[in-house]
Amino acid sequence: MISSASPDKQSDSDSDSFLHYGKILLRQFGNMVVTLLAVAFLTLFVLEMADRGRNHLPAHLFQTFLGTFRSLYEYLFLHPTTYPWQRQDLGAFKLVLDTFVNSAGLLLVAILFALFVGVILGFLAAISKGRLASTLVLVFSVMGMSTPSFLFAMLLWVFNIQVINRILGLKALPPTGIGWDLHLLMPMLVLAARPMAQIAQVTYISLRDILNEDFIRSARAKGLSNSLVYSRHALKNILIPVFTTVGTTLRYSIASLPVVEYFFVWPGIGLTLLKAINLGIPALVTDLIVSLGFFFVLFNLALNLIYPLIDARLRRDNPDASFHEPFEISHAISGILFAMQEFWLDLLKLLGLRKAPKTVLPELSSGQFLHASREEMPAFKRPGLKQGIHWVLHNPALLIGTVFVIGFLIVMAGGDSLVKGNASELHGIIMIDGVIGAPPFKTSNTFPWGTDHLGRDIQALVFAGGQRTLSLAFSIMLTRLIIGALLGVISGWWQDSWFDRFVQRLLNIWAAFPITLFAMLIIQAIGIEQGVWVFILALCIVGWGEVTQFVRSQTMRIKPALFIEAARSLGSSSAGILIRQVFPNLVPSLLVIASLEMSGILMLLAELGFLNIFLGGGFKVEATADIPLMFSDIPEWGSLLANIRDWWRSYPWMAWYPGLAFFVAIITFNLFGEGLRRFLEDSRVNLSRIFNRYTLLGAVAAVIVFGWIMQIQSPMGIYRTYANTFDEERVLQTIKDLTNPIFHGRESTSAADARVAEYLSYRMEEIGLFPPEGDGSYIFTVPVQRLHLIAQPKLVLLDENDRELKSFVYRKDFADYAGVSMTFGENQGSIIGLAIGPASGDTSKELSAISALSLSDKAVLIREKDYGRPGLKTAGLILVVADDEISLQQKKLYYLTYWHPERLTFWINEETANLMLMTADSDLNELDQEAAHLKAGEIFATNAGAIVQGSILAEQGNDEMINMAIGVLPGEGALMGDRGISMDTEVTIISAYYDGLGDQPDGVLYPGANDNASGVGTLLELARLLKDSPYAPKRTIIFVAWSGGDRGESLKYLDIMNAYRELNEFKVNEIIEISAVGAGTGKAVNIGAQSSYRLVKLVQDGGKRLGIKTTTRGRGPHYGIVEDIPTASPREAPSLYISWDGSDQNAHTVRDVIENIDPKKLKKSGRLLTLISLILSRENNY
């Protein structure tokens, strides 16, 4: 019977195994689908949020979240079949597949190489004798985990050129491009560095522990050779931790993938993602991120299937037999209430208002926790001082890490005061070592580490940047630790509850995202210009999982301990046990992981900086050869790494020093964390005596008291009262004066322009400001030539006999198009409607297709989205159907002096468009329907209809002048600045453009009350307040009311500073531009784009102090109306652009009248600007 039953049992066993693996595959496949759908949804959501931020739209989080479901539906079921890419239409599947293969191949080769080399290095170190091997493994692993990928890439590039090519005389490896030959070597080595280091360390630690197990000693006692012991017993037992490490390190390799591909120009997912984000192709971005998530999930699925083959114990589910208490929301609420109660009682005890009760359950030391899993605690003698010194001296990682941590604390405290350079000082053309040159300057005695493109001392920037970068990393680490510890403890204590399963699901989804790109998208979605809190939030969102997983596992280890069971038997609640027993025993582990988190955060900040994502986002300047650079006036290591991809070979010092600063900081915290872990293992010191709820209470109380004292004594607290004296009634009177019809709308270069300048100079003299020179004149003039309308624009519909069918009404049915690309003249053509398919990326192909229509004698009617497409400029007239008819009411002034009679452009409303298309037997509905079915590069044209005749007559003025009224308030801060520099030679410029839109040829007046009479009125009131202030300015303030802003021109402050002998030696610290601060649809003061982060932060702090809302996502008066005029003299001085959010509502229309000015908004804007001006004019540090 036994023999006959055995085959059946074997068959049942095989069937069970088959079913078991089938269930695993089915479950894993379901999890993969859910994970990838979640990845797609979150990607689309973040992209939509980022797009709203770029368009200065309110976040509307809930509405955007709901709208993303529709975007997900369109992505899944209406997915694009082609993408415009590299001047051609590429199939969506082919483009994604090609990039996926390139990146997947690179990643797989890097992981396999790291696995092979890492296991060998760890194995050799584990079987060798002595501490040298462990030290070498520690050094190798720490170096590998501490080197940012771009820095290692730079080192490889230098080694490739300097050693392989020049010293050894061999052919250099290909530095860029793709190829499955030697092109692969350098990017593969960079991607493999971190996984290799971690695999080597895990292999060494695991194998060292295995070789000390009893079964290894038994195998040796049986006479097995070392090779058999290693191959049959040791190596097999380390495969699980090694493969687990491979799965973990894959995520970090994927995080570095965009940086590596960007550096080596490897056309994979990372590089394509960066391009797709810049081009604004959300479907392609989602495709690529989902494909990376697919690769990650598939790789981990393969590992999960391999584990049971390695260890038979994993072939069946082994449910934990320990006690699992169901989790309910009430548990979380009771825990919070219990923690608040404990905090309050501790506070009373600290103040001596309550006696401490007898302790029922003594807290166990961290040393006891280290042995919590054992049934009996071993006898442990408290170590003496000699033993403690011995542990420290024999722990080089802790010694070196501690020394460098102290060094970085000194850097955080001292900043650039520790070096002779000044981080904020710009250097232009100067003589160094007898040679006259311009920045960037290479290393010399004058600049030990060289300068950047603006002439700022790199050494001073690195030291000053250490304060902000390390403080930011610490804040992120602390927030991650709090969130991760809270979620981890709850998840681990209520294991397998719905909350635990929810957290685990989120962790799986988060793990599928490329960390660096995910952080970049979140930062852009929230608003990079908002500063510190955005980075804290974004890096916590992408990085909370590691801390949560670690704390969860530690909590699960503590939960079965005897002292926990004892607390339960005495009736302690879960909240009481967690706070009094679990958290104290987590302290040693949390301190170690805090140090390691610091290094991980710094690594992420370094790679984000390399991708031009840094604190505040900076603003663009054209410092060299008309190439735009991202510039930040706030020293921060990440901002110093921006732009280096294009410049590090020519100016290596600009990349090496900030890169090495990141490297040294990362390796410091890695060493400190590793050393602290070893010290705690050896000493089992009771850290809960130092870090407990009482020290936490004391720290919180100290922070609150210190913050309260600093708030009271801060400059903002001192100047706040005076800022409240801002008088909006005076501003309203100025607005009334400037909108008087005698100034005819204040069009720049008109006769009224000069009269306005005279009025403003009189007001400045009345306030008590000084003229910029001793001649007593406040007016500075610049000769220009501008265009002005001389007749009302006309648009007429004619029949074949040139008889008038319809004359359209200006500003109702149509409007002329002005601005940088304005056109004027007279022309006519037969109406023809065009529908154009999506952009193909091939400009020549599109140009050829449209040119084939012979549009020179046609009036082309198009939708606004198609304006600017190649070939349309050949048309006789261009008729653009406006998306928003308010644009027809917005007047725009002419700027350039070029004549373009062949492509007159008009903007028309839909009613006018349909009337014209009716003559061609068509309408807008037909155009829209045809456009929906067109492929990239395809065109649909209606039949030719009636003739449309248009005219825009303008003339160029002669002997015209741009006027500026300039008043100076001298500073009184001689020799009161940092390093003995006279503060009265430092200048703050406060400016506002006073020009308006003038009036139309038919006499219709554009008052320009908010845009920008309100800005000028606010400027004059600020001048009065600062002149009469009891807090006399220490820096010189120059008030400038200038003309040209409503044409899109910018303030050319260097022309002002260079024109006056008394001013050309002054240094401009910052420029404040005020516009449209008296009206708008929003509820906050708007901080405009391209504002300096230093000044943005100052305004935000001032707004909080005064209770005034501020926003960096608002819309100024010229949003979507006036195009900025390109300028040949880029602004290098940090600038601040202030307006009221939504001030574009009535801008450039006849509705911008004084009756729409809101005095409350004037008051709020004025109070905030007064406070900011006082800070800038008097304080060194802000």
The DSSP code sequence of 111-173 is HHHHHHHHHHHHHHHHHS-SHHHHHHHHHHHHHHHHS-HHHHHHHHHHIIIIIIIIIS-PPPP
Least confident piece of the model among 102-106, 337-341, 777-781: 337-341
Position 1057 in a domain: yes
Residue 763 CB neighbours (<10 A): 22
CA distances from 30 to 24, 301, 452 (A): 10, 12, 52
Segment 433-459 mean pLDDT: 87
Position 339 in a domain: no
Same domain, 50 and 102: no
Query: According to the model, what pLDDT value does residue 676 have?
Result: 85
Least confident piece of the model among 205-219, 503-517, 620-634: 620-634
pLDDT, tens digit, 9 for 90 and up, residues 921-948: 999 999 999 988 887 778 899 999 999 9
Q: Which of 931, 956, 981 marks a domain boundary?
A: 956
Query: According to the model, what pLDDT value does residue 134 have?
Result: 67
* 860 closest CA partner among 871, 846, 849: 871
pLDDT at 813 over 90: yes
pLDDT, tens digit, 9 for 90 and up, residues 64-89: 888 899 999 999 998 888 888 877 77
Segment 321-346 mean pLDDT: 51
Same domain, 723 and 807: no
If phi > 0 it is left, if psi is from -120 to 50 it is alpha, else beta; for residue 563 that is alpha
pLDDT, tens digit, 9 for 90 and up, residues 227-249: 787 777 788 888 888 888 888 88
What's the CA gap between 1007 and 1001, in Å, rounded? 15
Same domain, 176 and 249: yes
Same domain, 771 and 797: no
pLDDT at 973 over 80: no
Same domain, 492 and 539: yes
Query: According to the model, what pLDDT value does residue 734 have?
Result: 96
Query: According to the model, what pLDDT value does residue 314 have?
Result: 58
Mean of per-residue pLDDT scores for the chain: 82
| DSSP three-state, residue 411 | helix
Position 77 in a domain: no
pLDDT at 901 over 70: no
Query: According to the model, what pLDDT value does residue 388 have?
Result: 66
387: domain CATH number is 1.10.3720.10
Residue 172 CB neighbours (<10 A): 16
Q: Which of 905, 932, 956 marks a domain boundary?
A: 956
Better-predicted residue by pLDDT, 337 or 786: 786
Segment 1021-1039 mean pLDDT: 92
pLDDT at 18 over 80: no
Question: What does the chain come to in residues?
Answer: 1182
Same domain, 664 and 575: yes
Can you tell me which residue has the tokens 């006056």?
1060
What's the CA gap between 1169 and 1113, in Å, rounded? 19
Position 1045 in a domain: yes
Better-predicted residue by pLDDT, 688 or 994: 994
Encoded tokens for 1134: 């940090």
Least confident piece of the model among 26-30, 390-394, 1165-1169: 390-394
For CA atoms 109, 111, 117, 120, give the dihedral sign: negative
What's the CA gap between 1084 and 1089, in Å, rounded? 15
Position 1076 in a domain: yes
* 917 closest CA partner among 926, 929, 906: 926
pLDDT at 140 over 50: yes
Q: Which amino acid is residue 804, in one-letter code?
A: E
Same domain, 952 and 985: no
Give percent of the chain above pLDDT 70: 83
Q: Which of 312, 341, 368 marks a domain boundary?
A: 312
Express the helix, strand and coil content of the chain in percent, nearest 5 each.
60, 10, 30
695: pLDDT confidence band, cut at 50, 70 and 90? low
pLDDT at 318 over 80: no
What is this structure's pTM?
0.81
pLDDT, tens digit, 9 for 90 and up, residues 518-563: 899 898 888 887 888 899 999 999 988 888 988 888 888 888 888 8
Give percent of the chain above pLDDT 90: 34
Same domain, 551 and 465: yes
Query: According to the model, what pLDDT value does residue 627 have?
Result: 57
Position 1018 in a domain: yes
1173: pLDDT confidence band, cut at 50, 70 and 90? very high
Residue 500 neighbours by CB under 8 Å, 6+ apart: 327, 490, 491, 492, 494, 552
Position 694 in a domain: no
Assess contact for 327 and 498: CB atoms under 8 A.
yes
899: pLDDT confidence band, cut at 50, 70 and 90? very low
Encoded tokens for 386: 């000699």
pLDDT, tens digit, 9 for 90 and up, residues 870-890: 888 888 889 999 988 888 888
116: pLDDT confidence band, cut at 50, 70 and 90? very high
pLDDT, tens digit, 9 for 90 and up, residues 1119-1132: 888 765 554 445 56
pLDDT at 372 over 60: no
Into how many domains does the chain fold? 5
| DSSP three-state, residue 1115 | coil
Same domain, 413 and 541: yes
pLDDT at 445 over 50: yes
Same domain, 164 and 184: yes
Q: Which residue segment(s) compose the domain that 798 sits in?
A: 792-956
Query: According to the model, what pLDDT value does residue 994 have?
Result: 94
Residue 339 neighbours by CB under 8 Å, 6+ apart: 575, 579
Query: According to the model, what pLDDT value does residue 553 have?
Result: 85
- Range 1060-1068, long-range pairs (CB < 8 A, 24+ positions): 1060/772, 1060/773, 1061/773, 1062/772, 1062/773, 1062/774, 1063/772, 1063/968, 1063/987, 1063/1038, 1065/985, 1066/985, 1066/986, 1066/987, 1066/1036, 1067/985, 1067/986, 1067/987, 1068/987, 1068/988, 1068/989, 1068/1133
Integer Rg of the chain from CA: 35
Same domain, 891 and 1011: no
Position 1162 in a domain: yes
With residue 1039 as reference, give the H or E element that holds it. strand 1036-1042
Better-predicted residue by pLDDT, 653 or 50: 653
971: pLDDT confidence band, cut at 50, 70 and 90? confident
Same domain, 245 and 308: yes
pLDDT at 1162 over 50: yes
Least confident piece of the model among 199-208, 370-379, 666-675, 1060-1069: 370-379
